[in-house]
Amino acid sequence: MKVAQHPDSQRPVTASDTAPDKAICPHCGGAVILRQRKRMNDGGYTYFWRHQDIRNRARNGRSYPFQP
């Protein structure tokens, strides 16, 4: 997922290199961690949030729009 909630202020935070290492999933309230993947076309990085525990893999945030 690309958008999570900040753990302190509960405000939406987009996955990026300046985002905190941990956040909260807006859909289930579980802990998510910031991950990065190297892009093949230009060598840059793309950032995304992944659930810390693997229990919520079916709910990836793509099919559920973020609602603050």
Q: Is residue 45 part of a domain?
A: yes
pLDDT the model gives residue 53: 77
Residue 27 lies in a domain: yes
Q: How much is the pLDDT for 4?
A: 93
Mean pLDDT of 34-42: 93
Confidence class for position 66, pLDDT limits 50, 70, 90: low
Find how far residue 19's CA is from the centre of its chain.
Answer: 10
The answer to the question of residue 15 being in a domain is yes
Domain that holds residue 45: 3-56
At 7, the amino acid letter reads P
The reply to whether 51 falls in a domain is yes
Provide the pLDDT for residue 67: 52
pLDDT class of 56 with cuts at 50, 70, 90: low
Question: Is residue 68, in this structure, part of any structural domain at all?
Answer: no
- Assessment of whether the complete model's pTM goes beyond 0.85: no
Residues 6+ apart with CB under 8 A from 18: none
Q: Total domain count for the chain?
A: 1
